[in-house]
Structures are given as structure tokens and as C-alpha cells.
Structure 1
Amino acid sequence: MGDLREYATDVTKPEVAVFVSGVASMGLEILAGRIVAPQYGSSIYTWGSIIAVFLAALSLGYHYGGKRAASRATTDRLIRLFVLTAGYVAVVIFADDLLLAAAAAMPLPYRFASLPAVILLFGLPTYLLGFVSPYAAQLSEKEGVGEASGHVYAVGTIGSIVGAFGTTFFLIPALGIDRIALAFGLLLTATAVWLAAPRLRRRSVFAALAVSLVLVAAVASGSLGFSTGGKVVYQTQTPYQELEVADLGDTRTLYLDGQRHSAMDKSDPDRHVFDYTRYFHAPYLFADDPDDIDRVLFVGGGGFTGPKRFVEEYNATVDVVEIDPEVIDVAERYFGVEESEQLNVHNADGRQFLRETDREYDLIVLDAYKKDKVPFQLTTVEFMQLANDRLSEEGMLFANLISAPDGSASQFYRAEYKTMARVFPQVYAFPTSETGAVQNIELVATKNDTRITEAQLRERNDRRDIGIDLSAEIESYRHDESTDDVPVLTDDHAPVDSLMDPMMGQRYVVEESERNESEDRPRARDARPGASVAPSESAFDLELAAPGSGPATPDLGPALTAASTTA
């Protein structure tokens, strides 16, 4: 304790400046992921660009700061560095959307598309913060270059740790992006004022106060740019993503990181707004007896479209595991989800839940993929084996993924197909659009060795009362895909980001059901009514992030158009 107390008393103003620069630089790095993700996704390429830019900018600052420290390192220049950095943070708050749009105009391959945006938004402030450490080392009262440098970099590293933990575990769950940026900006200006004490240099204090006012004004006025279509009902930052609920007409949509993930018809909450969610019922045709599907697990909740409809339609007990607690809370408050004896909601990671549970399921629905980021640990052969172990003897795994059915953009789909086929005797595929564009593709994997033909599915659809008519969906039946050129995904090697790379910049088609599905279920739930009316659908196109651009904004006409991976 004595050594620690002595160390604390040895920290001077320059070292405090280094501590604050460490807090701010690492905090801004964590925050960068939240600012850039809605435009470019949160893939490994985005995070790699963020880390590389911050390291490069800091290195340049260290280099040029070190060259100038002997002749230019003064307290006044430290103050100036903090004020200038805070000023640029105000620019980021006020015009981040415009800066992102400007960066998106650069024609780069998808994996590098976020790089100009990160440089434009965070390169300059991080570069300025890089000057602080060498200046502080020069101004340090420590004897010898080695002792001064070691002391400065130890304090700076501690600041970085505080910035990383504080931003990740406290600021992001509690505040919005603009308010977090405001907090860092005010921290920088407050440090500048503190450095100016006790003489309180008038010019420095005035500049710090002026920038503080600009920071507050930037947050109060809101950022320039584009907002989500429709009336925003709720918006927050969760530990995992930016979340927004918006209403457009009778359609309520859940946005995660600026992308549409679920939609609900407020006049008919159990209706499948997106056509691909109708395929969730396909396992009831693959089962020898649909009544044998007594327990269902959904990995991924979103707006709970599938779980709600299953509870309404069938007598099965439905468990839902969702990693983001805020998504669960929003589903209950805005999407009519109510836990009951039939519906159980668990806040956990899907793979961890399966590993720890002793329950056995007749159907597992894997619905946790985003269109631009897939949790690789839910794609591998080890995960498929874990799911297989938690299924009953005749159990099935249903996976909703986004890919193209053919061509170079189909690599992820075919790799996942190949991976599932390593564990399950039979795998079936159902593209949800007749086009060859990027789309939702539904995979059904069964433990049954006997292949179910398309004709058998049609016969069962005509004969069985499963509450929904899937005759149109059965037409997309596929099997025996070519997988020689794609890998089996494993925990050791699951290159999902590179497999998804060819999808970027290609058209993404989502089909939206337009009719009231009450015609599919004319009788009570326990009767399991059949359906005879084919759905009326319309196709809506979206753009995945093209090289050098973010996702295109669709034409929000009478019917909401939406890209979704989580129902």
C-alpha cells in the first residue's frame, strides 16, 4: 500500500494529462464501433479497420510529438491539444452522418469500405492525443528518460484500461452515442482548464469553455443526416448494439444497428409480416407426426415473431434464448411478448445455453444471424453437434441465414449446408425468393435418414392442419448442393466474414406478405386448422453495403420494406 500511495503522489499534471488522453483515446475507439456499425456493419473488417486506424494515428502522434517535445513541449501546448481534440469531437457529434456519407462515396471493396470513414471521423483526434505522451514525458519531473517514459506510459495504459472498461460496461449501456461523445469532450475541456490552473490563463480557459458550449450545442441540436423512416417509438444503446423501434402505418419495426430485424402488424400481431418467417412452420411437415413437436427452442428472439405464432398456433412449449436483455425488454413492451407456462424467455448466449441445459427439444430454430455479421460460434460443426445432442430422437434443426442460392455470393450458404450435413443425415434448403439475389435461405436438418421428397411435403401440406398453407414455400425445395469449393466450418477455422464478403454490394431481396393471415387459421388453436389460400406477396429489394457505400435506404411506400435476419 505504501508503494501505491507513493506512486499516486508522484503523478504530476503532465501524467494526469496522459491518463486522460488514455481514457479518451480508448473510449473513442470503443465508441467508434457504435458510430460506424449502422453504415458498414460490425464485422471483423470494421473492427480491424478501427483498431488499425487508432494504432496508426497514435503512432504518428507519438512519432511527431517525440521529435518536437524537446523544443515545443509546454503546458500551454498540452492545453491546446485537449481543446482541439474536444472541438473535433463536437464535429463528430454534429455531423457524423454527413462524414459517413462522404466517406461512403469512395469506391473500395467491402472489406476496406469502412476504412475512410474511421480515418475521417477519428484519425485527427487520435493523432492529436498521440502528442500528449511524449510531451508529458518531456515535462515530467522524473530523472532520466527511461524513468520518465516508463512512468508516462504506465499511467497512459491505466487510463486506456479505465476508458475501455468504463465505456463498455457503464457508458454504452446507460447513455446514447452523442452523450457519451459529449462526456469525453467535456472531460478533455475540463482537463484543459485544470492544466491552466492555478494561473488560469484567460485565453486557454476561454477556448476550453467555448468548445464546451459547442459540444453541448451539438448534442442539443442533434446530428445532421438521415433518420429511420417512420415515427421513432423507442431508441437506446444496449451492451450489444444500437436499438430502435419505429412505427410506419400499422407496421412496427425493430432496428438493430440501423438494420431492420423484425416487424409486427399492430392490427394483427401474430401475422408474418416478412414472408421468410412463414418457413418456420416447415418442420411440422417434415415430422412424421406434427403432434410430436412438443418442445421448441428459438436461438435469437428479436421481435419474437416465430415464438409468438408458435404459442398461438401449437400446443408446444416454446423456449427463447436471447443474448441482449434490452431486446427482451423491448419485445415485452412493444411487441406484445408475454411469458407464460408455454413461453419461457432466457437471457443467455445461445451456445452457452445449449451447453448447460439438460432439456431435450424436438425442434431448435437458429435465428441469431445478422445480414452483415454472423456469430461464428453458432455456425460450426461443434455447435451443430451440440444442437444435435440436445434434440430428441426425431428432432430437427431449422436455420435462417442470409446468402445467395447460387454463384459466388452463395459461399456462406453452401458452407453452412456442408457443415450441417456433417452432423445431420438429411439437410434441405428453401430459398425465399425466386431470384438469384441475396436473400433469406431456410435450412432444415433432420436426424431421419430417409429423405422427404417435395411430393411428400405437398401431400402432407394438403392433409395436415398446421395452421398455415405452405404450398408456395414448398416450391423452393432444394437438396444435394455442390459444396466441393467451400469449407466445413469449425471452431478452429470458421471464416464466415470472408465467405460473406462476395455478398456485399449485391441486391438483397426480402418478400413481404401483404394479406391478413387469419385466413390461414379459421379455427381455434387446438384444432390446428389447415389453410388453402396461397399468400399474396410482393418482392422488395435492398442493397447490402456496396464497395465504398453503406446500406441503401429503401423506398418506404405504403408497405414497409425491410431486411431482416431475426424475427
Structure 2
Amino acid sequence: MSGPEVAVFVSGVSSMGLEILAGRVVAPQFGSSIYTWGSIIAVFLAALSLGYHLGGKRAGTRATTDRLVRLLVGTAGYVALLIFFGDQLLLSTTALPLPSRFASLPAVILMFGPPTYLLGFISPYAAQLSRKEGIGEASGHVYALGTIGSIVGAFGTTFFLIPYLSVTYIYLTLGGVAVLTALYLALPEDSVSVLPAIGVVFLLIAATTTGALGYTARGEVVYETQTAYQELEVIDGGDTRTLYLDGQRHSAMDKSDPTRHVFEYTRYFHMPYLYASTPDEIDRVLFIGGGGFSGPKRFAAEYDATVDVAEIDPDVVRAAEEYFRADEYDINTYIQGGRQFLQETDNTYDLVVLDAYKRDKVPFQLTTREFMDLVTERLSPDGMAVANIISSPSGPASEFYRAEYKTMNASFGQVYAFPTSDTGAIQNIELVATKSDTRLTQEQLRERNQDREIGIDLADAIDGYTTDVPTEDVPVLRDDRAPVDRLLDSMVGQRYVIEETGSGSGDDDTNTTEPAAAWGDPALTVRDGGAVTRGQGLHIR
């Protein structure tokens, strides 16, 4: 290929690579909903179109190899700036008074609009410089090369860069490809353009080195990677080790007591032991969603029950084994999506815990009536389910919680709601669903909590017993109509409160609350919780 043709191919690789990467970059701040991805696609198309248009108008008088070099160097230079200042640019857009569904748009424009705009000039310039005869042949050849480059960029970023490199090093790779192409075009004829290109090479290296110090304001970064599904970080803060997925707290472990429930909501997973006729009738438990294996570890250590986990992300399982001591417990782990696992398994469960939901990223296929019917089919006659919902207990931000409550009611005999915080903020709300048509009262649960030895005191949890959840204005979620993104829309930008248990034993009513936090760094409310013994063994299948 000639130099201009190489430039076109690389522009396709870079533009599509940046577009795929943009989803990972903005997700921790704005979520990865359909609105975020719609904004990303629209901005990239608009920036490329503007570059094509102006490049086409100027190609007749300005199309030179030197201009192609400048465009590639400019793109790589902007990528270096994103490594240096990307977080600041992202945060600077969060305060803009926009409807939540458009909240990510300014960030995408500011961060990815300029480099994509510059890349848009390359195709019309290259068509002007092409050796092909006729405008049609030249333009068709150029756009074919650009499209092939985009395919390579899409597959390369999705299947190779994101699974194995951090965002910083993906920036370095994409920027490095652009600046090396510029050097290829500039040498040996245009020695003047070589100096800026070499300068950008050093800028990329300096930005990458500066941005990889292994420490954030959240604590010491123990491990980080880009998985096929999300950004994964393991961060130590004092005696607590926390798993962050797409920048949000997902699981936490007390390093000196790995089965202690650090997050308050995980204690609610034990509620079915109060609903069962006798606690020992729960013989087999399935967790859909593993995270740091907080729930599975405690169940394996505390109860004489078989504990299975269906987790779709193998990197999450590896992190749980290596950094959260999951391999020390007798847990059967299946690298599989929860719905697929239930469709294929012959196992019958006494309890299914649905813990695969995030605040901004909810797999709709795990929320629908059809899925809940599948759960009931895999449950024993007296089986139960617990769903960990992130929502507000009331107001506009409660729509997803109320829709899921209504959906589960359509499949189960009774559904009970337990908010985990006394505030009206977005929080973890636990839904306990039973096949029984008989409804237990709050007082009955209190009596069972006093009488039964289940290894944990749930008195505080029972205090949150909620009745009369309004569902008239929300739909039953179905496979052919599950508007989960719209239902989550009202939560964008609002404070997310995760209650955190204390390090002591027992349960009292003394709470301390840390200051309100931003989107990816929720506030915590601290309560005292209990401790248990340990088990052993992890089986990956």
C-alpha cells in the first residue's frame, strides 16, 4: 500500500478503537446504558462526518503527505492528553444541568470528538492523493480501506486490547499506532515533520508512565484489568479489600476476617432462613453473580449446604480466588450467564440469590417475567429467591425496584421488600420471594429471628420490612418489553448509599455516615456486624 493508503487504514483502526474504548471510559461516571452508547455512536459519526465534509472541500488545495502526517500526530497528541487529563475532563462535565439521559454527551464530545474529527480528514485527503484513475475508483478504494481498518480496530480492541490491557495502555497503543504511521509517512523525505512526531512519542510515554503509579484516592491498587465485560479493580483501603467493577464498589472483604459481611446488604441474603419451615431445609443454594464471593463464602462456611455460583466473567472468578480467598471454600463455580445456566442445569435449588445487578448496568434478561418463571421452575416446592436491587425506595428513582417487585409478584406467591438504608437515597433493596401464598408478618419474622440459630442476627434487617409497594404505574418486565434503561434513567447522577457493617461482633443501632460521594464512589453507612468460621475448596467448571 502507498503511504496515504496506510494512513486511511490506520485512521479506521484508530477511530473504531477509540469508539469501543469510549464505552469503558465513560461507563464508571455515566453508566453503560443505551443512552450512553447512543451518545458515543452519534458523536463519533458526527465528528467523522464533519471531518469528511471539510476534508473533502479542502482536499483539492491542501491534500499532501505532510498534512496527513500532521493529522496523525495531532490525533496521537490528543490521545496523550487524554491519558494525562482524561479523568479531569470526564468529571468537569458532570455538573452540567442536562437531563440524565443526555448527561454523558458533553463528556463524549469533549474527550473523543476532536481526535475523531481529525481522523475524518484523512480519507478525502488520501482519495485526492490516490493513484487510482477517476474519482469513483479512488473514493471507493479509500473508503474500503478505511472500513477494513475499522473492522480491525473493532475486533482488535474488543477481543485483544480490552481483555488484556488497562485503559491507559490501550490509549498508548492506539496513539502509538497513529504516531508511528506518521513517522512512516514522514521519513525520509519530510524531516521537518519528524520532530513533532518524535515529541508526541515521548509525550505518550510520559503520560503512560505518570498515569500508572498504582495508587488512587480510594486506596492502593492491588490489581486491575479490562475484562471482556467490564473494568475490574481490586483496591486495598486499610483492612478492607474492595472489588470495583466499572468504577463502582461491588464487593468488599475484611482481610483479617474474610467471611465477615462488610457490606450491609449481603447480610440480607440470610433472610430465607427465617422464611423456611426449618433452616436445615435449605440444602442447595445458587448465587447468580459472584463478585468477590462475599455471600457464597459465608454460606459455605456457615451452613451445611451445597453452594453453587454462576458468574459470566471468568476474570471476576480469578480475582475472587486470588484476592478474596474464594478458593479456600467449598464452592462450585460455573463460568456461565445466570439464565443460560438455569436453562441447562438439572439441579434443583432451595434458594437462588440474584446478585448480578448494578446501579447503571442491569442485564435485562435477568429481570423479566420469563426469567423469574425459569427461576421458580428450578426451585424446590418450598424454594425461595432473593434479588439484590439497586434503586431508591420511593420517588422517580424507584421505578426499577417497583417494576421488579411487580414482575416477581407475577411469578412467585409472595414478595417481601427490605430497603437497607433509612434514607431515601439510591441504595440496595432486597426482595425476598417465596412460592408460598401465605404471607409472614414482621412480628413472625422477629420471633423466628430470636428462636432460630442461623449464625447472624437479622433484627435490623427485619425493621425495614416494607408493605404496600405501589406498582400501578410500572410495567411487568417481559422478554419482548423490558425498558430497564428507561427505568434506571432517573438514577443517573444521584447519590448511591451502601451501608457498611463495623468490624466488631453483635448488632447495635449506632451508625456513622461518611460524606456524600460522587457517582462512582458511594457514601457508606457503618453498622456493627458478626463474624463466622471458615471452610475450604473451590471447584471451577
TM-score by length of 1: 0.89
In structure 2, give the amino acid aligned to 1:297: L
Q: Which moved more, 1:79-88 or 1:142-151?
A: 142-151
Of 325, 329, 332, 2:318 maps to: 329
Is 1:295 matched with 2:287?
Answer: no
* Residue aligning to 1:270: 259
Is 1:260 aligned with 2:260? no
Partner residue of 1:450?
438
- In the alignment, does 2:375 pair up with 1:387? yes
**Do the aligned partners of 1:429 and 1:479 also contact (CA within 8 Å) in 2?**
yes
Aligned to 1:441: 429
The answer on 1:500 being equivalent to 2:488 is yes
- Write the distance in 2 (CA, Å) between the matches of 1:141 and 1:333: 56
Identity fraction in percent: 66
Residue in structure 1 matched with residue 155 of structure 2 by the alignment: 165
How many Å separate the matches in 1 of 2:24 and 2:241?
A: 23
Task: Tell me if the contact between 2:285 and 2:307 (Cα under 8 Å) persists in the aligned partners.
Answer: yes
Structure 2 counterparts to residues 129-528 of structure 1, below 5 A: 129-197=119-187, 199-222=188-211, 227-338=216-327, 342-517=330-505
Conserved? CA contact 2:417–2:465, under 8 Å: yes
**Aligned residue for 2:31?**
41
Q: In 2 relative to 1, CA 338–292 (structure 1 residues): closer, same or farther, beyond 3 Å?
A: same
Distance 2:204 2:460 in 1: 55
40, 47, 50: which one pairs with 1:57? Answer: 47
Q: What SS does the corresponding residue of 1:192 show, helix, strand or coil?
A: helix
Q: Match of 1:460, as an amino acid?
A: R
Give, in whole Å, the separation in 1 of the partners of 2:149 and 2:130: 17
Shift of 1:210: 1.5
Residues 448, 539 of structure 1: alpha-carbon distance in 2 compared, 3 angstrom cutoff? farther
Give the drift of 1:538: 3.7
Q: Does the C-alpha gap of structure 1 residues 552 and 466 become closer, same or farther in structure 2, counting only changes over 3 Å?
A: closer
Q: What is the deviation of 1:378?
A: 0.9
Q: State the SS of the aligned residue for 2:479.
A: coil
TM-score (norm 2): 0.93
- Aligned-CA RMSD value: 2.2
Q: Name the CA shift for 1:457/1:183 in 2 (closer, same or farther; >3 Å).
A: same
d(CA) in 1 for partners of 2:233 and 2:446? 40
For residue 43 of structure 1, report the CA deviation from its aligned partner. Answer: 2.0
1:353–1:465: structure 2 CA closer, same or farther, 3 Å change rule?
Answer: same
Letter in 2 for 1:61: G
SS in 2 for 1:460: helix
List, as ranges, runs of 4+ consecutive aligned residues in structure 1 with deviation greater than 3 Å.
223-226, 533-545, 551-559
CA distance in structure 1 between the partners assigned to 2:215 and 2:100 by the alignment: 22
Retained in 1: the 8 A contact 2:426–2:497? Answer: yes
> Match for 2:350: what amino acid?
D
- Once residues 423 and 491 of structure 1 are traced to their aligned partners in structure 2, the CA distance between those partners, rounded to angstroms, is 14
Q: Distance in 1 between matches of 2:133 and 2:160?
A: 38
Unmatched tracts of structure 1, length 5 or more:
1-10, 520-532, 546-550, 560-567
Q: Which residue of 70, 73, 76 corresponds with 2:63?
A: 73
Cross-structure match for 1:94: 84
Deviations 1:28-77 (A, max 9, x none): 11111222222222222222211111111001001111111122211111
* Rounded Cα–Cα distance in structure 1 between residues aligned with 2:382 and 2:76: 61
- Unaligned runs of at least 5 residues, structure 2: 529-541
Aligned partners of 1:158 and 1:85: how far apart in 2? 20
Matches within 5 A, 1:110-121: 110-121=100-111
Question: How far apart, CA to CA, are the structure 2 residues paired with 1:66 and 1:202?
Answer: 27
- Aligned residue for 1:510, secondary structure, equals strand
Partner of 1:8: none
- Check 1:233–1:81 CA distance in 2 against 1; reply closer, same or farther (3 A cut): same
Partner-residue secondary structure (3-state), 1:143:
coil
Equivalent in the alignment of 2:536? none
Residue in 2 that maps onto 1:522: none
Task: Spell out, residue by residue over 1:173-216, the C-alpha distance to the aligned partner (whole angstroms, 9 max, x if none).
Answer: 1111111111111111111122234x431111222112111111
The 2-side partners of 1:103 and 1:408 are apart by: 23
Comparing 221-230 with 68-77, greater Cα deviation is found at 221-230
SS in 1 for 2:350: strand
In structure 2, give the amino acid aligned to 1:507. Answer: R
